Amino acid sequence: MSSIVKCLLLGLALLAAKPALPAEESDPPGRVGRVSLATENTRLRIGDHVAQGGTALNWPLTTGAILQTGSGARSEARIGSTILRIDGNSEIEFVEVSDGRIWLRLHGGSLLMTLNHAEQAAETTLDTPDGRLRFEAPGIYRADVAGGTTAFSAYAGAAVVADLGLPLHRGERVLLLGGANRNYLLGAAAQDAFRQWALDQDQVHAAPPNRYVSPEMTGHEALDRNGTWHETGEYGAAWFPHAVPAGWAPYRMGRWAWIPPWGWTWIDQAPWGFAPFHYGRWVRMGGRWAWLPGAYVARPIYAPALVAWLGQPGWNVSLSLGSAPAVGWYPLGPHEIYYPHYRSSVRHLRHLNRSHNPHAERIVSTSPPHAEQGRTHAHRHRHEAVTVAPKQAVRSATPETPAFRSPSPSAPPSVPRAQGDGAKPAALPAVTITAPATPPTRPSERERTVPERSVAVVAPGGKPHHPSGEMHRHAAEPRPTPLPRPVTAVPAQAQPATLIGAGREAVSHNGRNAMPAKPREEPRERARHKPGPAER
């Protein structure tokens, strides 16, 4: 037997002997953080994106994210109940944010951490260039990295400098001097302007525990000061935002960004706009939008956006300046099952939906995403819920573009103000959605994308198309009456939403919530070869 054949047989034997990974290991983390305070010189790098200044607000913080602050630019991040306050001229890396661990690395500057729960404290590790801090109890801790030295302080709680096995108690500070002997100095916990600023922030945002949502729901702290809770007989607790602009709807004023491992992720621009867009459902009550957190869960599961998508590449909306392909979406309503587009296990699906549907355990275990045909979403045909974006607005990917619009049956097209002082109003073309007049033909596998008959409009060449396999179980529904409707713009006082890294009209569909496909990477120029000394 030849050596090549022996190697192949050995390789096959090793593959057969290797145990298969459980499905749960492919699930994305259920725990994420968010940027909860961003000033002018705040800079966030996550995936292929960079968010600067106030636009970094509400971006999710997950494994690999790096948050930087410039001179005098203090910032804040939260991961569930944990608060991270970052001084100016600092850089913190989120090495790992998963269900079992929070691993942070301070590359430079100062970081104040408030760990409010014992379980979270036990799962958290802080690295610096000169040492590692582990936490043995909830408390308030600080790390300073400057001038080649590292210092750890404890204002409350108890921790251990892992490299030295040195305990750190309340009121103490240890300065690591480095060197072969691992010298250090003990003193009192640092007291300065940064510490005072953190104390002031605690006073401003102090609030009693919220009994409707878990403290481990990232973004929960912004709800009580920006809205009102009401008990409802049908849905349980409901949260109403205090003030929203005219024409506001969930997932309308913000932006989309492709963030691995989830894919398209909603970034809302409201100060409170994290928890209501990554957990829970939305409902219309008394002419107002209300957010439903669902049944109380100790550690809720994060979702990139709880929406249903509609539209497909090539489908058009009629514009006064021509026609353009469109894509749209609307929030999921009460009790509706969320089928994520990213890879996940049945266990993950159960955890995502169990607090909103008492039958979620059975539904996700026995029914594929397109099952339970004939049932429609609560917001599918509501003009005040559906948001549509023409392709050219998606391509522009700039916050100034009046991109996201509501199909309103009566309101005339409005003209939003342009951004900036003294700018002239930006003209906005009227938009109507046209339904096909003849039964749609079955598309090819390449064309099968985000299907919704309510916005199934004119396909290339004038031939109407409509994919089979409706997302969220709509395949057998009767087709609605054609709905030619004008589309009004997002209110001028609110910044319209955009798609970050978009301009890629391709949309994918795998039988789950269909959504725009991952942006294709633009070709990069090859670096020109510079001859070395030997080549000159």
Q: What is the DSSP string of 73-117?
A: --EEEEETTEEEEE-SSEEEEEEEE-SS-EEEEEEEEEEEEEE-S
> Contact 111/90 with Cβ under 8 angstroms?
yes
Residue 105 forms part of a structural domain: yes
pLDDT at 205: 80
Q: How many domains does the chain contain in total?
A: 1
Averaged pLDDT, 265-289: 95
Residue 304 has pLDDT above 90, yes or no: yes
Domain holding 103, by residue range, is 29-204
The vertex-237 CA angle with 234 and 240, nearest 5°, equals 105
Q: HSE on the CB side for 300, CA within 13 Å? A: 29
Nearest partner of 188 among 130, 142, 135, 127, judged by Cα: 142
Residue 309 forms part of a structural domain: no
Averaged pLDDT, 73-100: 97
- Give the chain's mean pLDDT: 73
Residue 302 forms part of a structural domain: no
**Phi, psi angles (nearest 5°) of residue 453:** -70, -25
Averaged pLDDT, 212-224: 95
Percentage above 70 pLDDT, the chain: 62
Averaged pLDDT, 426-433: 32
| pLDDT band with cut points at 50, 70 and 90 for residue 311 | low
Averaged pLDDT, 125-132: 95
Strands 124-127 and 102-115: parallel
Least confident of 97-106, 321-330, 472-481, 521-530: 472-481
For 236, the 3-state DSSP assignment is strand
Among 126-135, 468-477, 498-507, top mean pLDDT goes to 126-135
Residue 156 forms part of a structural domain: yes
| pLDDT band with cut points at 50, 70 and 90 for residue 257 | confident
Taking only the tens place, the pLDDT of each residue in 317-358 is 544 334 556 678 899 999 999 988 888 888 898 889 988 887
Residue 430 has pLDDT above 90, yes or no: no
Question: What pTM does this model have?
Answer: 0.74
Averaged pLDDT, 170-185: 87
Residue 183 forms part of a structural domain: yes
- For residues 387 and 12, the model is more confident at 387
The domain spanning residue 178 has which CATH number? 2.60.120.1440
Locate 512 and state its tokens: 């789950």
Least confident of 104-113, 170-179, 242-251, 483-492: 483-492
Residue 526 forms part of a structural domain: no
- For residues 263 and 502, the model is more confident at 263
Query: What residues have CB less than 8 Å from 500, skipping those under 6 apart?
Result: 49, 255, 256, 257, 258, 267, 397
Least confident of 51-55, 149-153, 295-299, 356-360: 356-360
Residue 48 has pLDDT above 50, yes or no: yes
> Contact 115/90 with Cβ under 8 angstroms?
no
pLDDT at 133: 97
Cα separation of 285 and 438, whole Å?
36
Q: What is the DSSP letter of 275?
A: H
Residue 175 forms part of a structural domain: yes
Cα separation of 416 and 419, whole Å?
9
Residue 48 forms part of a structural domain: yes
pLDDT at 499: 46
pLDDT at 183: 86
Query: What residues have CB less than 8 Å from 363, skipping those under 6 apart?
Result: 337, 353, 357, 372
Taking only the tens place, the pLDDT of each residue in 229-243 is 999 999 999 999 998
pLDDT at 484: 30
Residue 422: Cβ-neighbour burial (10 angstroms; 0-12, 13-18, 19+): exposed
Element holding 330 (H helix, E strand): strand 322-331
- For residues 527 and 91, the model is more confident at 91
pLDDT at 3: 55
Residue 454 has pLDDT above 50, yes or no: no
Query: What residues have CB less than 8 Å from 320, skipping those under 6 apart?
Result: 429, 430, 431
Percentage above 90 pLDDT, the chain: 47
Nearest partner of 257 among 34, 519, 32, judged by Cα: 519
- For residues 146 and 318, the model is more confident at 146
Least confident of 64-78, 480-494, 513-527: 480-494
Q: In whole angstroms, what separates CA 309 from the centre of its chain?
A: 16
